[in-house]
Amino acid sequence: MSLFTKIQTAFQSNDTDQWLEIYHEDFEFVRHQTGSSMNREEIIAMIQKMFSSGLVAQHNHRCLYENEDIMVEHSVMDFPDGTREAVLVVHNIQDGKIIRTETGATPLSK
């Protein structure tokens, strides 16, 4: 199963165990808003909080490219604060898991 498929499944189920299978133990997420970073536990907690709110929606989620070293995905997302963004995500892959993620986003009107 591709990592992209695993990401889609984890988003749909909001299951911590599935997220732990995706992210490398040394995972780092770089936030596009601030340039600050989050570790594996922090990003999983943020994802669970956002998706459990019922206020996050992901539209047109698609994989633009994936191999054993990198995956690029794109989607339009609605967030709990009422904003909508077109989000481009680049994942670096190591040992079959995502070790680093950076995002870029463009604010959109609803």
pLDDT of residue 51: 74
**pLDDT classification of 87: cutoffs 50, 70, 90:** very high
CB 110 within 8 Å of CB 104 = no
- Which domains are seen in the chain, by residue range? 3-108 (3.10.450.50)
What tokens were used for 27?
């995972």
Convert the pLDDT of each residue in 9-37 to its tens digit.
988 887 778 888 999 999 999 987 788 99
CA 75 to CA 31: how far, in whole Å? 16
pTM above 0.85, yes or no: yes
For the chain, give the mean pLDDT.
91
**pLDDT classification of 66: cutoffs 50, 70, 90:** very high
**Residue with structure tokens 């995905």?**
73
